[in-house]
Amino acid sequence: MALFASGWWWQRKVAVAPRMEPTLDTPSPALGRMTATAIHQALTDPYFIPLERTADFLGQHSDVDEITVEQLQRYMSDDELPTCFVWSTARGNLSIGHPTSPWVLERVVELVKASLQKEAGRGVMFVDTFSVESERYWLGYLRSPLRAQDPRQVVGVFFSRDQYLSDVVPRWIENLASRRRFPLIAFQRNEPPIHNEPDGDVSIRILRDNGEVYLQRGRSFEPWQLIYSESKYYPKPVVCMQPGWDLQVFSKNAEPKTASGSGDKTSFLILGAGLLLFSIAYWWGVSGGVKS
C-alpha cells in the first residue's frame, strides 16, 4: 500500500506543474493581439493621419478659407506615400504633392465630383478605390469646410495599392520591427544575431488568401509557436488592405503543446509501474503464505 501511495504521489507531482507568473514576454493571445495592433497601426497611420489631422484643423478653424498641399504634407510621416492633393471646386484646379500620371489625376477628380453630387453633407471622411491601367489605387478625402454641401475645396490623399504591397509594407514593417527607441515588441531578427547582440522572441508572418507567404519577419515559425492568428478571431480578416489575408504572430518562448500531454503520459506510466509492482508484491506475499 505504501508503494501505491508513493506512486500516486509521484504521479501528482509530475502532473501538477508549478504555475508560472506572467511577464511582458509571456507568449499569449494577448501579446499576439498587441503585436497585430501595432502592425496595423504602422501600416495605416501614414495615410490616415494626414486626413485626421486636417479634419481636426478644419473643425477647430471654421473660418479658414483654404488648405494647401504643403499643409497636408506636413502631417505626413513618410516622404514617399501617400500623394496629397487639393482640388478647388470653384476654379477646378488640382494641386498635388508628387508627380502623378494624368490618367490617375483625372480619375481622382471624377470620383470627387461624383461624391459631391450624391453624398452632399453626409459624413466627414470619404474612402474609395479605383483602377487605372490595371493598377489599383486607394483614395481618401474630405470637404473644406467640413460637411459643406458646396465646399470650397476637397482635400485628400491617394496612392497605388500595388506599390503599397510591393515596396511600402515591407519597409514600414521593418521600420517598426527595428525601432530602437521605446520598442513596443521584441521582434526577432531574420538572421541570428552576431556576437552578443540582443534578439527578440516575436516573429510575424502575413499569408495571402491562398495560403502563400507574402511577408515574414523572424525565425520562429513552428506550429506550436503560433500565439495569434487574425483569421482565428475574425471571420473576414483584412490585412494590408487585402480581404482574406491572415496575420500570424509567433513566439520562440512558447512551449510545445505536446509538453503537457507527455507529462500526463509520464505520470500514468509511473502510476502504472507502481500498481504493477504492488500487484507483484501482493501475489508474491499471498503465494508465499500458501506454501507455508
Q: Number of C-alpha atoms within 13 angstroms, CB side, residue 149? A: 0
**pLDDT the model gives residue 19:** 57
**pLDDT the model gives residue 61:** 87
Cα diameter, the chain: 119
All cell numbers assigned to 39: 502592425
Contact 185, 217 (CB under 8 A): no
Contact 43, 169 (CB under 8 A): yes
Residue type, 28: S
Closest Cα partner for 51 from 119, 114, 124? Answer: 124
CA 249, 255, 259, 260: dihedral to nearest 10 degrees?
A: -80
For residue 284, count CB atoms less than 10 angstroms from its CB and return exposed for 0-12, middle for 13-18, buried for 19 or more.
Answer: exposed
Residue written as cell 513552428?
222
Per DSSP, the residues of 126-189 read: EEEEEEETTEEEEEEEEEESTT-SS-SEEEEEEEEHHHIIIIIHHHHHHHHHT--SS-SS-BPP
| List of the chain residues with pLDDT < 70 | 1-25, 119-122, 258-292
**pLDDT the model gives residue 10:** 47
Could you read off the pLDDT of 144-164 as tens digits, one per residue?
998 888 899 999 999 999 999
